Amino acid sequence: MSADAQVPRTTVYEYFESFKDTLIVHELPAWRETRQCKPLASSKYYFFDIGVVAAL
C-alpha cells in the first residue's frame, strides 16, 4: 500500500494505528497453525462502515 501511495511504510503504519485507536478499523491477525512457522499471509483490516472506505 505504501508503494502505491509513494509514502514511507511507517506513515501508513501510523495511519492504521490511529484508525485502530478510534475504532474505525478492526485488525484481523493472520492465522497460523503453529508458533514455530512464519505466517504466510498478512493481517487483514476491516472498516466498520463501507462509507468510510468510499470516502478514503
Query: Smallest Cα–Cα separation from 26: which of 10, 11, 48?
Result: 48
Model pLDDT for residues 15-43, shown as the tens digit of each residue: 888 888 787 788 877 776 666 666 567 77
What is the predicted pLDDT for the residue at 16? 80
| Residues constituting the chain | 56
Band of residue 6 on the pLDDT scale cut at 50, 70, 90:
confident
Helices (H), the chain: 2-5, 9-21, 50-55
**Cα angle 27-30-31, degrees, rounded to a multiple of 5:** 130
Among left, alpha and beta (phi > 0; psi -120 to 50; other), residue 24 is: alpha
